[in-house]
Amino acid sequence: MNKNVPRDIDDYMTLFPEATQRLMQQMRVTIRKAAPGATEKISYGIPAFALGKDLVHFAGYKKHIGFYPGAGAIATFKQQLAGYKTSKGAVQFPLDRPLPLALVARIVKFRVKQVLSVAKRKR
C-alpha cells in the first residue's frame, strides 16, 4: 500500500493546518447529516462519502476546500454556486469565508436522490 495515501478521513485531515481541519470537519459533519446512510472512505486520495457508489468528495488545499459532487449537481445548483469558482464537477470554497453548509447539505441530499434513483432503476 502507498504510504502517502491517508488511511481514513481523520488521517487525511492531520495533513492540514488547524483552521483548515476545522473547516473540513464542518464539511464532514454536514455531509454525514445530509447522507446518514453513507460510508466514509478515502477515494482518489481524498475524503469521500459513498452510498453504494461515490456521492461526494472533498479536499483541503492551501487557499480553499474543494467539493466534488459531480457535474449534475454543479449544473443543478449553478445559480446558488455563482459566487464561487466552479468547474464541470467541482466547486472551490475559499478558506477565508464561512462554508455554505446549508448549500452543501442540499447538494448532498440531491446526490443521495440521484444515486438511489439510479440504483432503483438498475434493479
pLDDT tens, 12-62? Answer: 999 999 999 999 999 999 999 999 999 999 999 999 999 988 999 999 999
| Residues 45/6, Cβ–Cβ less than 8 Å | yes
Q: What is the pLDDT of residue 77?
A: 97
What are the angstrom distances between the C-alpha of 89 and each of 17, 55, 72, 85? 26, 12, 7, 11
* 3-class SS of residue 43: strand
Q: Which three cell numbers stand for residue 53?
A: 457508489
Give all domains of the chain, ordered by start, each with its CATH number. Answer: 9-122 (3.90.1150.200)
Q: What is the pLDDT of residue 119?
A: 57
Q: What is the pLDDT of residue 105?
A: 98
* 3-class SS of residue 38: coil
Note the pTM of the prediction, 2 decimals.
Answer: 0.92
Distance between CA atoms of residues 92 and 86, nearest Å: 6
Q: What is the pLDDT of residue 60?
A: 96
Question: Residue 92: beta bridge partners?
Answer: 66, 85
Q: List, for residues 60-100, the tens digit of each pLDDT value.
A: 999 999 999 999 999 999 999 999 999 999 999 999 999 99
Q: What is the pLDDT of residue 1?
A: 41
